[in-house]
Amino acid sequence: MKLQPLEFEKPVLDLEAKLADLRSSSAANDINIEAEAAKLEEKLEKTRHEIYTKLTPWQRVQIARHPARPFALDYMQLSFTDFVELHGDRLFGDDSAMPGGLATIGKHKCTVIGHQKGRDTKENLKRNFGSAHPEGYRKALRLMRMGEKFGLPFVSLIDTPGAYPGVGAEERHISEAIALNLREMMALKTPTVAVVIGEGGSGGALGIGVADRVLMLENSYYSVISPEGCAAILWKHRKHAPEAAEALKLTGQDLLGLGLIDEVISEPLGGAHQDQTAAVLNLRLAVTKHLDELSEQPLEQLLETRYAKFRKFGEFAGA
């Protein structure tokens, strides 16, 4: 897939184009340009480094939403092996915005579920842009419970702008579907790992995100509200989204600093879509490491630690 450049990546692209130009003209005219090409290459590397190591929160949000990024199913098929998809919530339907099933990662057989986006309009209509209905959350709970029954850990891959705000979703109680997962995941008798791979949009993300370990990819975000939504309310205009992204403290590093997540998984320079193989490997190593640690713990300790971890979230005074 052709990578669609983001606005702040323009300097990198310009240099890449210049370099390609130089190469092709040298080939055509048989001139030796090695010295100049080397200089350009050096400059390109420097520019890349400068841009990609100093990404602002808003730039990370844009990378998190990049359509060429690996999506949940890519990880399920590549970071995991032997993925078997299982459909349906046994109540109403199957939610294509949240595929899941059985898969193996490292030595761990587990149940896995994630929000799935599409890369083009047709696929996005099928996947509902990664916004799940209640059926998705109920399928997730069904899979978790099945895993609990058969001693399989549960892994979730979070990538959603939010749970779907639609008539059907409300009629079938999206609120309750999410709430029930929050309550049940806290007491699930099996190790759980959640990874934010792209967008961690509010309750829709948390609905499969209460886990023993919560990890975030370097260029993902996790927030109580989208930067645009926050800007519209607090700055009275969506154009202030970059400031809102800053204020919300939504990047992996910020949340690690606040103690709300356990690890930031690094991405290839410029984002997971620049080198999918590396991204897929990084996720596999991180999830495997955490499952290795968690599967060593006695169940009682696991549940106590999980409860204590979420229990301590909150900052207040006067008590």
Partner 1 sequence: MSIFSRPSFYSDKKRELPTGLWQKCPACSELIHNLELQQNFRVCPRCDHHFVQPATERVEMLVDAETFEEHDANMVSVDTLKFTGQASYTERLRSYQKKTGLKDAVLTGFCQIQGLKLGLAVMDFNFIAATMGSVVGEKLTRLIERSTQERLPVVIVSASGGARMYEGAISLMQMAKTCGALSRHSAKRLPYISVMTHPTTGGVSASFATVGDVNLAEPRAMVGFAGPRVIRETTHQDLPAGFQTAEFLRDHGLVDQIVHRKQMRETLHRLLSYLHNIQ
Instruction: Report which residue type is found at 45.
Output: E
Residue positions counted in the chain: 319
Residue number with CB closer to partner 1 (119 or 237): 237
Cβ 211 to partner 1 shortest distance, Å: 10
Cβ 189 to partner 1 shortest distance, Å: 12
Cβ 77 to partner 1 shortest distance, Å: 29
**H-run or E-run covering 246:** helix 241-248
- CA-nearest of 239, 160, 206, 228 to 310 is 206
Cβ 187 to partner 1 shortest distance, Å: 5
Residue number with CB closer to partner 1 (70 or 207): 207
Instruction: Report which residue type is found at 152.
Output: L
Cβ 42 to partner 1 shortest distance, Å: 40
Residue number with CB closer to partner 1 (40 or 178): 178
Q: What is the 3-state secondary structure (H, E, C) of 38-60?
A: HHHHHHHHHHHHHHHCCCCHHHH
CA distances from 146 to 11, 102, 159, 260, 301 (A): 50, 10, 23, 28, 21
Residue number with CB closer to partner 1 (230 or 280): 230
Residues lying near partner 1 in the complex (CB under 8 A) are found at 163-167, 169-176, 178-180, 182-184, 186-187, 202-203, 206-207, 209-210, 222-225, 230, 233-236, 244, 247-250, 255, 258, 260, 307, 310-311, 313-319
Residue number with CB closer to partner 1 (227 or 271): 227
Q: What is the C-alpha to C-alpha distance for residues 204 and 194, in angstroms, rounded to an integer?
A: 13
